[in-house]
Chains A and B, each alone.
Chain A
Amino acid sequence: MLTTLPQRTERRNAVVRTDSRGTRATFVALLLVLVAVIGGPLVAVIWTAYKPISGGAGLSGLERWWNVVADPANVAAIKNTLLLVVSSTIIGTAIAFGLAILVSRTNVAGGKWLGEFMPIMSFLVPPLIGAFGWMFLGSPQAGLLNVLWRQVPGVGPHSTLLNIYSTHGIIIVASIYVVPFAYLYLRPAIMQVDTEFEEAAMVSGSSSLGALVRITTPIIRPAIIASVVVVVMVGLAEFSIPLVLGSSINFQVLSLRIWEYSSVFYPAQPSAAAALGILLLAPALFGLYLQRRLSRGQGRYEVIGGKGRTARRLSLGWWSPLASCAVWSYIVLAVLLPAAAIVLVALERLWTSNLGDAHLSLANFSAALGDPYGRQALWDSFKLSLIGASIGVVLALAISIIASRSTLRGRAAIAYLALVPLGTPSIVFAVGFLATVFLFAGALYGTAFLLLVGYVVVFLPLAMQVLAGGLYQLSRELGESSRVAGASFFGAVRFILIPLLARFLITAWLVLFVSMFRELPVSVLLAPSGSSYTSLYLVSQWQNALYPTVAAFGLVIFGINALIMGMLLLMQRRVTRYANNASPRWRARQERDQRIPGARRG
């Protein structure tokens, strides 16, 4: 089967092979691996949903699929998913847009610092721990907000300020969770709009706010659409927040139903899980397609403007204090408050409604770390993430370099294939892995290896995106000049591309490690029975109502993540030292030169 592929290529090409044997072999190997681990599971999901089963009562695949979808519980889950996705997209994108524009374009207090901090936020607060934070704040009885509320004179002893165990509570938390995702798309776009556009509007008689609304906003419309698409995909895959906040009021979403069909109900109903998976798969893949199309024409990185941009911040005048106030109260309410709640609960002996007799101690931490299961979970997650992140970065590097720097036919296809998991809710992929394993490799079922493959596949697109940013910044001529200077394709990769991408490789590794270390939806389906990983351990402690341990363990996970992030950031600084020993003048000149648009080819 290997021999037919090059022949086909050659016939269509009708000319000359221009890539070395090694490059071609690597390409074919990557293609086979990706088809197996990405194409395979998706096909398996569809097959599992439609394949004839014994005891199927003579129903066709489509009829059985419809029966699953029309099940009242599933209809409710579909409605809830839609509600959650639509409302969190609208609220989350609006907040992110406001934040991005205020922080990067106006003289809001602390805007510069916030601009840098916001994108990291989603990594500092994983959805599961975020959901616990809100639980500690907004639980109707013992939630800290409600306890404090009852201290206000004239408020009844059973009155609540915020009931987080409710549809709107879940929507609030889900909206806050998606803000950083939207922000990640909106801020670079806003930063790239030349301020001279706004200045021209102001000279023409527009107010500064008017300039933002009438000039900046329409210019970045592609980025707004792209961010909406991403937020919708994140919302479709939402798992932890409805799990923690929705269980007690039976707020079901599709991802939770899939989990129940796969591993809560006995016997498991894989075909029902797959049937619901298809419901999530279709819109997500469409969203991915839409996003790729959008970012093709109007590149996300494209500098919009005539000459290089000048970073000038608009003064909002009268509105300035109000805007600062709005931005900072959002940060306090959405970020600091849940974090504070977790810290407080972690330090308390018991999470009770009595704030008065709190005995602050570190007992919960020693309990969390003293539990051998907890320690095992940390260690196992650490090992798996270490290996997974390393494999993922190597794969992503190989794929993105072949896709962007070789001349092979079909090179774009492997990059596209590797990005498919981005649009696929990870729990659907997990279902696909289970189905594939049942069909072809039963021996792999319940092994850590399967979980490792799952982690790598699901997070591969993240690493690809980080490296794509790096490769985009690297002029092609840097690699090409090494080819002319006598380096083979692999030589160019080894001596030029890898050293120059080092910073991005480290970032990609970091992103993968942190994501894998706290992963839940894939772990919940693929983890070997009896094993425990950080998120699974947290969920089990929560199910047993050991709330202070949950808080303490959550903080431990946060601490480990922060530590690794800090270490890697330090390493990054060392790696980029060569860039820093240039004098500021040369660096400024260099940056200016790189910004001259359209000066690349004759």
Chain B
Amino acid sequence: MSRRISLRGISKSYRAASGPVKVLDGIDLEVGEAEILVLLGASGCGKTTLLRCLAGLDVPDTGEIVIGDETMYSSSRRTFIQPHARQVGMVFQSYAIWPHMTVFQNVAFPLRRQHVDRQAVRARVNESLAQVGCLELAGRYGRELSGGQQQRVAVARAIVAKPSVLLLDEPLSNLDAGLRTRLRLELSSLARRLRLTMVYVTHDQAEALTIADRIAVMEHGRVAQVGSPREIYRQPTSAGVGRALGTMNSRFGQVLGRDDQTLTVRCDLGVLRGQPGNSETESSCAAGDTVEICFRPQDAQFSAGSVHEWNRVSGAVEQVAFAGDLTTYVIRANGGAFDVLAPGTELGPERGVEVEVLIPVDALRIYRRIGDPSDARAAPDAGPGGGVIPEYSRG
């Protein structure tokens, strides 16, 4: 039986030399029964701290954490349930396989703490190890395992006591790329098979998109947007969220005018039309406002395909970076530069050639710039890729 999780008004700050630092700033989140929620964000956004608060390893300053129908933490009611009484499973970033115990002893540990009798322990440990395909490793010590094996054993240990909630802290970040892709699929199928409510922390957008039922993108201790992977990827409500899920071309510009659905803006690429990216922009954006204009490199194309409405931008191909399955073109147009991503199989334009790039109007998202200093960091620098912020570019 799985449990739901609800977090209400979770805040936490650390005392640093320069004054208090807010790591978590009023987080409200609900995780449904047997749902996989991914917390996605850059390092330092508070996602790991939030997960540790769920496990009871960190303590929020204010707020309320309810798992199932039990209040695990409440600042107003002064409740705190110790980690060992929360009955959750957790997989740590380092896996934390105890080196002085065999794999069997590691996995048996949670059952021993519950005083399960020996025969049942044996049966359940074997069952759990079989579920992750590590039955033959039972007699080995933690240090004799490869990274992938450690990860599986850590999962076996986390699920052996049949917790209804499984917490994972960047469980795949220490593995190499191929293994990561395989274990990602194994983890999500295991979670669905066991009907676990899962909270999964990662900074890897591909991991987040493949594994999640819903994604919560975190920025500066706040939840910036929650939604299905498709929704967040296609309709990010801020430029930052968009960047968290993949590369973005990003320019600053001014609003020239608007009609029902779209805004017309001017930037160094020319005059473009696009969609307001969030309700605030939609309701209050007027001519003359400063806006950030974003579109994904793979939405821009060299030739018109279907019935879209297009922005047409003329420019010269400045760089061609062939990377096998994909090719990145850097296009210099008017005063600025931007990226176009095309399948590597297509024979695209050569370097130096003048091209016309088509950007669908509904793929170009426009965000009103508010006087928020934290947003100023998003200012696109004049690197070769124009507005691409390289931070999230790894895959």
Scan residues 4-26 of chain B and give those whose CB is less than 8 A from a CB of chain A. Answer: none
Which of A252-260, A456-464, A488-496 participates in binding chain B?
A: A488-496
Given A15-B61, A500-B100, A578-B99, A486-B161 contact (CB < 8 Å): yes
Report the separation of the CA atoms of residues A18 and B161 in the bound assembly, to the nearest whole angstrom: 24
Contacts of B56 in A (CB 8 A): 18, 483-484
What are the residues of chain A within 8 A of B141 when measuring CB–CB?
578, 581-582
Give Cα A483–Cα B99 distance, bound, in whole angstroms.
16
Q: Which residues of A contact B96 (CB under 8 A)?
A: 475, 477-478, 480-481
Q: Report the nearest B residue to A495, measured CB to CB.
A: B109
Q: Which A residues are CB-close (under 8 A) to B80?
A: 16-18
Give the Cβ gap from B73 to chain A, nearest Cβ, in Å.
7
Q: What residues on B are CB-neighbors of A483 within 8 Å?
A: 55-57, 82-84
B75 A16 Cβ-Cβ under 8 A: yes
* CB 8 Å contact bits of A467-480 with B (1 = contact, 0 = none): 00000000101101
- Pick the residue among A486, A500, A589, A602 that contacts B113 (CB under 8 A): A486
Decide yes or no whether A54 CB sits under 8 A from chain B. Answer: no
Is A601 among interface residues, defined by CB-CB distance under 8 A? yes
Which listed residue, A475, A482, A587, A593, touches B147 by the CB 8 Å rule?
A593
Provide the residues of chain A in CB contact with B88, threshold 8 Å: 484
Given A484-B86, A486-B84: A407 and B169 interface contact (C-beta under 8 Å): no
B144:A485 contact, CB within 8 angstroms: no
Q: Mark A586-602, 1 if CB is under 8 A from B, else 0.
A: 11011001000001111
> Contacts of B93 on A, CB cut-off 8 Å?
477, 599-602
The complex places the Cα of A385 from the Cα of B79 at a distance, in Å, of 46
Residue B334, interface by CB 8 Å? no
Contacts of B109 in A (CB 8 A): 482, 485-487, 495
At the interface, yes or no: A543 with Cβ under 8 Å from chain B?
A: no
Minimum CB–CB distance for B208 against chain A, Å: 12
Is the beta-carbon distance between B90 and A586 smaller than 8 angstroms? no
Are B83 and A480 in contact, CB atoms less than 8 angstroms apart?
yes
Query: Taking the complex as formed, is A29 at the interface, i.e. its CB lies under 8 A from any CB of chain B?
Result: no
Q: Are A602 and B169 in contact (CB under 8 A)?
A: yes
Minimum CB–CB distance from A14 to chain B (whole Å) comes to 9
Residue B365 lies at the interface, judged by CB distance under 8 Å to chain A: no
B56 CB, min distance to chain A CBs, angstroms: 7
Selected from B94, B99, B201, the residue in CB contact (under 8 A) with A477 is B94
Q: Report, as a range, how many residues of chain B touch the other chain.
A: 35 or more
Given A586-B143, A602-B169, CB of A491 within 8 Å of CB of B90: no
The answer to the question of B271 belonging to the interface, with a C-beta cut-off of 8 Å to chain A, is no
A294 CB, min distance to chain B CBs, angstroms: 16
Cβ of A247 under 8 Å from chain B: no
Complex interface residues of chain B between 73 and 125 (CB less than 8 A to chain A): 73-75, 78-80, 82-84, 86-90, 92-94, 96, 98-100, 109-110, 113-114
Residues 355-378 of B contacting A (Cβ, < 8 Å): none
- Is A583's CB within 8 Å of the partner chain B? yes
Are B144 and A582 closer than 8 Å at their CB atoms? yes
Give the residue of B74, B87, B143 whose beta carbon is less than 8 angstroms from that of A587.
B143
Is B296 an interface residue, CB under 8 A from the partner?
A: no
Nearest residue, chain A, Cβ from B141: A578
Decide: A599 near B174, CB < 8 A? Known: A484-B88, A582-B143: yes
A491-B84, A600-B93 given as contacts; is B98 within 8 A of A482 (CB)?
yes
B43 within 8 A of partner (CB)? yes
A306 at interface by CB-CB < 8 Å: no
Q: Is A499 an interface position by the 8 A CB rule?
A: yes
In the bound complex, residues from chain B placing their C-beta under 8 Å from that of A579 are 99, 143
* Distance of A486 Cα from B78 Cα, bound (Å): 22
B48 touches A601 (CB 8 A): yes
B170 at the interface (CB under 8 A from A): yes
Contacting pair A485 B92 (CB below 8 A):
no
Select which of B57, B74, B113 is within 8 A of A487 by beta carbon. B113
Contacting residues, chain B, for A269 (C-beta < 8 A) = none
B75 cross-chain contacts in A, Cβ below 8 A = 15-16
Q: Does A20 contact B (CB under 8 A)?
A: yes
Q: Is B47 an interface residue (CB 8 A)?
A: yes
The distance from the CB of A600 to the nearest CB of chain B, in whole angstroms, is 7
- Please, how many angstroms separate the alpha-carbon atoms of A593 and B173 in the complex? 12
- Compute how far the CA of A602 lies from the CA of B51 in the bound complex, rounded to whole angstroms: 10
| B201–A602 CB distance below 8 A | yes
Name the residue on B nearest A23 (C-beta): B82
Q: Is B203 an interface residue (CB 8 A)?
A: yes
Select B110's contact among A407, A480, A485, A496, beta carbons within 8 Å: A485
A19 to chain B: closest residue by CB: B82
B157 within 8 A of A: yes
CB distance from B308 to the nearest CB of A (A): 38
Enumerate chain A residues within 8 angstroms of B62, measured Cβ to Cβ.
Answer: 15
B143: which A residues are within 8 A, CB to CB?
578-579, 582, 586-587, 590
CA distance A587 to B144 in the complex (A): 8
Residues of B within 8 A of A602 (CB): 41, 43, 45, 47-48, 93, 169-170, 201-203
Q: Are A578 and B100 in contact (CB under 8 A)?
A: yes
B66 within 8 A of A: no
Q: Does B138 contact A (CB under 8 A)?
A: no
Report B64 CB to chain A, min CB distance, Å. Answer: 11
- A560-587 interface bits toward B, Cβ cutoff 8 Å, 1 = contact, 0 = none: 0000000000000000001101110011
Is A583's CB under 8 angstroms from B144's CB?
A: yes
Question: Are A491 and B57 in contact (CB-based, < 8 A)?
Answer: no
The residues of B that contact A477 with a CB separation of less than 8 Å are: 92-94, 96
Expressed in whole angstroms, the Cα–Cα distance for A18 and B202 within the complex equals 27
Interface core residue of B43, B62, B82, B161 (most chain A CB under 10 Å): B82
A16, B90: Cβ atoms closer than 8 Å: no
- Tell me the minimal C-beta distance from A148 to chain B in angstroms: 55
A487 to B158, CA, bound (A): 13
Which chain A residue has the least Cβ–Cβ distance from B39? Answer: A602
Interface pair B59/A16, CB less than 8 Å apart: yes
A380 to B88, CA, bound (A): 53
User: Given A16-B78, A499-B100, A500-B98, does the pair A487, B201 have CB atoms closer than 8 Å?
Assistant: no
Contacts of B90 in A (CB 8 A): 481, 484
Complex-state Cα separation, A95 to B59, whole angstroms? 49
Tell me which of A481, A587, A602 has the highest count of chain B C-beta atoms within 10 A of its own C-beta.
A602
Query: How long is the Cα–Cα vector from A353 to B157 in the complex, in angstroms?
Result: 73
Within 8 A of B (CB), among A8-22: 15-18, 20
A sample of 7 inter-chain contacts (CB < 8 A) reads A16-B79, A478-B96, A481-B157, A483-B56, A486-B161, A578-B100, A587-B143
Instruction: Please give me the 10 A-B residue pairs with the lowest Cβ-Cβ distance, nearest first.
Output: A486-B113, A481-B96, A602-B48, A483-B83, A477-B96, A582-B143, A485-B110, A484-B90, A16-B80, A477-B92
**Other than the known A20-B82, A483-B84, A599-B174, what 6 A-B pairs have Cβ atoms closer than 8 Å?**
A16-B78, A18-B56, A477-B93, A487-B113, A599-B173, A602-B93
